[in-house]
Structure 1
Amino acid sequence: MDFTECYGDTCSAVALAAREGKGRRVQKLIQRGFAVDVKDNRGWNALHEAAAAGSAECVRLLLPAAVNCEDYVNSLTHNSETPVYFAARNGHLRAVKWLIKGGADINRTTNELSCPLFAAVDGGYKNVVELLVRNGAEVNGTYSVSGWSCLHQAVYKGHTEIVRFLVSMCSLEAVDDYGITPLFVAAQYGHHQCLEILANAGANVNCQANDLATPLLIAAQEGHVWCVEVLLAHGADPNLYCNEDCWQLPIHAAAQFSRLSALEKLIPVTKRECDRGEGKVSPVYLAVLSGQADSLRVLLKKGYSPDAQSCRQFGYSCPLDMALWCNSWNLDSECHQTREITLMLLAAGAHVSMGIYAFALQGHVPEHLPLILEHAGLPQGDRLRELANRALAELQSASFWLPLLLKAGMDPMLLLQDKMLEEAENRVLNFFLEFIHWKTLPSAMLQILSHRRTDGTWTPRKHFGMNCVGFMTLIRCFSAIHCIYHICTPHSPLFCW
């Protein structure tokens, strides 16, 4: 049998009259002997119809007409809904009164784990809620799939007056299956008036859900700045860790989701340990990771470090490291934001580690190295020599980095190593040699060039022969010397120009 629909021709005559609120017709049908308990394919009888329609007169007439009034008033549909449930769900106060007078079980739950009080709360019918509570409705029961109380539901719907009525009798710390209290719900959905009522009534503003999230964290995440203000005013702790790793705070949520007003409220009250503390995570990381340039701007302006601490939780050495990596895999639509973040960090003086220089040398995102060189320049001393070695390790991308490094002021002699002469592609080698004083080349390096010209992997530019005669003469002299050496040692490889 299909119980999902109700067809008009399956409804009894009495039920149809009750649905339409026709009290006189209901009375006449009863007098003529029509049954009042005939059910349709949903399990509804005439009393269900009258209660759902809010016809108190029909309810009054139907109750004494049943063979057993107590059974009739509590008759169930196929979803275990009683007449009083329908009356309460639709806010029909007079119908509820008659049903209670007739012996209705006001705490009976439906298959969907609801009850008359929960349904009235959901609908915002305060007068029905008060009537049910006065008549013994269970105010601390758990309903709905996740185990919410009536107070949870009142807060969720933002029914302020019902919340005000229930707080004096409901458990303020009732939790659902996720460890969430009514006050947490108020913070999550931005119902600051309900939040104020609960906090004033003594609800714990520092309660934590099963995942350790706090009301302040969820309010910051959702951007409910008025809820943030209420919570802070009632003693919510902005430094209470909201995860098992003991680093996540409400300020992180505000930064991650760019809730700027909430962020402004949280910065002055959050301890700066999170910014540089060992094992912590600066909110700067969350702004960078989520591509929130506006959040980052606020944090840097308020004194948060562009360097922060090494972040093992996300696997990055510093925020700039994160920004560059994020930029390398972000979608085109996000590139502008990540470029702005990179620029912001560099402009704020972010330290550029050798690892970052090395990553930029690879040229995965061509704009990285120019940005770094423009804002941070070349490293100094031993670090500059290390950069030259790192560059030579990325020789396959030398056509990208060589012009940039030389333009930035790197001494080409730092790159004058056998590896450059042996492995650089033809055009890169020619470009590099433009910056080298040929008179300073040692014989071993001339030999490398001679070998490459012989095996065809290097073709000198024409002007090397026309304008650098001395250079070419030196090469030829070296070749002649090598030929003599070859004659003396016939098993040596012969090369000449």
Structure 2
Amino acid sequence: MLFKYSAVCVKARDIVAACLTHSMDFTECYGDTVSSVAAAARSGCRRRLRRLMKSGFSVHCRDNRGWSALHEAAAAGSRDCVQDIVTAAAAGSSRGCRVYVNSLTHEGESACYLAAKHGHVAVVRLLLKAHADINQLTNDLSCPLYAAVDGGHKEVVELLVSKGAEVNRTHTASCWTCLHQAVYKGHGEIVSILVNVCNLEALDDHRISPLFVAAQYGQQECLEILVNAGADVNTQAADLATPLLIASQEGHQTCVDFLLDHGADPNVACSQDWPQLPIHAAAEFGHISVLRRLIAVTDRTCDRGDGMVSPLYVAVQRNQSDSVETLLREGYSPDAQDCTHILGLRSPLSFALCFRSNKPYSELVRLLVAAGARLGEEDWIHALATDRTDLLQLILEHRWLPRPETLTRGCSVPHRDGKTLLKLQDLREMLCVALNQVHFAACWLPLLLNAGLEPSLLLQPHMLEQADSEVLNYLLEFVNWSTLRPPLKHILDRRRAEKTWQPCPQFDSITSLSHICRLQVRFILGPDQLMRTNVVQQLPVPSPLHSFLQFKDIPEVSFQHSPPSPLLGPIEGYRSTHQHRHVL
């Protein structure tokens, strides 16, 4: 039913606002209004109390909180005063005495409750003899036993339990039992008492058991007591979370170790959305020691299995580079599985690149690329559809570009000096993106050619038609321009005639022998070897030729800042202009 915003509510709101405006002190409403008898009981002055009662002062008077002299004496722990007050109350009738002993304050607190709350075991014992209600609930659903448990008063707990206090009743709005509260507070001795009489599998409103509470708050001693008493270590809450998952999330190493050593299953799905495991929680929150322990016992199907989610995804989401590094070092695949249908994510690397925005590539990206993560089309877009080269440089630090003779399907993917050779499919996607991003060629072209890309792969009609004059000249410097195919020469002739291309002077002459020689050296050694200074220095040629052989005499190209789609990001901009191009 919808709440009606009545005029009464408006008036109440205005009153509250006025009170806040004038900084009213509401404690003025609760001045000390106790009777003389109650004041004597509060101070524990038995002689004064007796004198007042003998003079006819009543023990039944209440203050503005509903407290009587008995409540004051019980809260203060004055057993003698309690005894005298109870005796005076019983002078009328035993029934009247019982009613008086169980009278409640405005908060629903009995004298027994107040004594238990403050740990006054002698007073509690005396009140129970006077027929105090041992299970009386307060307004907030507490009771003497729950109050004693909360305060850690072991002797009071023992007394109440021995006298038959209800031990499995739920208290508080969350439906916690006394055992839940004892575990939460870490009162090990009290937990040892309660496990013998309480329901170990009692559940609160979220179906959380006391053992779950122990795991969540790192109460190691209580956890051991519960497990040794037979509590279920694999209990699941309403959201399917287990004690092992929550302990892993909170980083309670000793609890994780104890649970695993006593039968906790690390492979139980702990989420209704996707099969989340404890290892995901540890990775997400960066608890590395817990993560290492879980890696050793968790089924590796979560790494690449269909319908599963690698813990790398959650580690990337929370920017937990230590977790990512640990998982990769322990053999988890940097590619994981495609989680498009579960999380809307293709790979951990694509996820990491989504957070890049205008900042340099993150440590997460470096770790994944260095570990050999496959580079998909969208990953290449982040590297090539931009005037920033930091990501492309990072990729080329960890990838060998294949030589023409290796561009065959099914070839192995060798590792050399910590680098991985790009697969044929990866190279295809890179070239497809590059040829669709000719506008940024001034940024990526020098890097790719110096890293060993075969320049003939870029001698495509689209490249020659769209590249600006400076970029086109730079590319032609890496080939024998006199041997271009007739269709490509036709494009160049047309652009020259249209004055959209100003060729270098040497392009009109026969290619020099020195240039042909360095092209042959590049072909024989392989561009990746040639561009390494220490390799060039070992060649039996004069040192002045070293720079020439490395094409360092060719001027660098400059990027013109006029992006085609300033309102679109690199991915959206690429998709809006993409055309499939057969590049190999």
Pairwise TM-score range, normalised by the shorter structure? 0.7 to 0.9
Residue 469 to residue 425, structure 1, CA distance change in 2 (3 Å): closer
Q: Which moved more, 1:440-449 or 1:113-122?
A: 440-449
1:93 aligns with 2:121: yes
**Aligned counterpart, 1:397:** 440
Q: Quote the Cα distance in structure 2 between the aligned partners of 1:90 and 1:188.
A: 28
Match of 1:115 among 127, 131, 143: 143
1:277 aligned residue (270, 285, 305): 305
How far, CA to CA, are the matches of 1:306 and 1:138 in structure 2?
55
How far is 1:450 from its partner? 6.0
Q: Is structure 2 residue 222 aligned with structure 1 residue 183?
A: no
Measured in 1, the distance between the counterparts of 2:126 and 2:27 equals 29
Alignment TM-score, normalising by the size of structure 1: 0.85
Alignment root-mean-square deviation, CA: 2.6
- 2:46 aligns with 23
CA spacing shift, 1:304–1:83, aligned 2, 3 Å: same
Are positions 1:411 and 2:454 aligned together? yes
Q: Give the residue type in structure 1 aligned to 2:451.
A: A
1:85-484 pair list within 5 angstroms: 85-245=113-273, 247-312=275-340, 313-326=342-355, 328-329=356-357, 338-339=362-363, 341-363=364-386, 366-378=389-401, 381=407, 383=425, 384-441=427-484, 445=488, 448=491, 458=500, 460=502, 464-465=504-505, 467-470=506-509
Query: Deviation at 1:126?
Result: 0.6
Aligned AA (1:148)? W
Q: Distance in 2 between matches of 1:295 and 1:364?
A: 31
State the distance in 2 between where 1:389 and 1:226 align.
52
| Aligned length in residues | 461
Deviation string 1:413-445 (CA, Å, 9 cap, x unpaired) is 322233223333454344434445443456655
Deviation at 1:100, TM superposition (A): 1.4
TM-score by length of 2: 0.73
Contact 1:4 / 1:42 at 8 angstroms: preserved in 2? no
Aligned partner of residue 10 in structure 1, secondary structure: coil
Partner Cα separation in structure 2 for residue 78 and residue 365 of structure 1: 70
Preserved CA contact (<8 Å) 2:387 2:443: no
Distance 1:246 1:354, change over 3 A: closer
> What's the offset of the Cα at 1:105?
1.2
Name the structure 2 match of 1:38. Answer: 61
8 Å CA contact 1:3, 1:42 repeated in 2: no
Q: Is residue 324–residue 368 contact of structure 1 (8 Å, CA) maintained in 2?
A: no
Helix, strand or coil for the counterpart of 2:40?
Answer: helix
CA distance, structure 1, for counterparts of residue 468 and residue 58 of structure 2? 99
Structure 1 distance, partners of 2:429, 2:279, is: 38
List alignment gaps of at least 5 residues for structure 1. 472-497
8 Å contact from structure 1 (residues 275, 309) kept in 2: yes
What is the CA–CA distance in structure 1 between the aligned matches of 2:188 and 2:387, rounded to whole Å?
Answer: 55
| SS of residue in 2 equivalent to 1:262 | helix
Q: Supply the distance in 2 between the matched residues of 1:71 and 1:180 (Cα, whole angstroms).
A: 38
Distance 2:389 2:35 in 1: 78
CA shift, 1:192, in A, is: 1.3
Question: Following TM superposition, by how much is the alpha carbon of 1:93 offset from its aligned partner in structure 2, in angstroms?
Answer: 1.0
What code does the residue aligned with 2:60 have? D
Name the amino acid aligned to 2:436. A
The offset of 1:123, in angstroms, is: 0.5
Matched-pair identity in %: 56
Q: Who is 2:21 aligned against?
A: none
Aligned with 2:475: secondary structure? helix
Question: Following TM superposition, by how much is the alpha carbon of 1:267 offset from its aligned partner in structure 2, in angstroms?
Answer: 1.9
Matching residue's letter, 2:471: V
Q: Which amino acid aligns with 1:377?
A: W
Letter in 2 for 1:321: S
The answer to which of 202-211 and 100-109 deviates more is 100-109
Instruction: Give a deviation string over 1:155-180, Cα, whole Å, max 9, x none.
Output: 00110010001101100000000000
Contact 2:102 2:110 in 1 (8 A): yes
Cα deviation for residue 455 of structure 1 reads 6.3
Q: Say if 2:67 and 2:105, in contact at 8 Å, map to a contact too.
A: yes
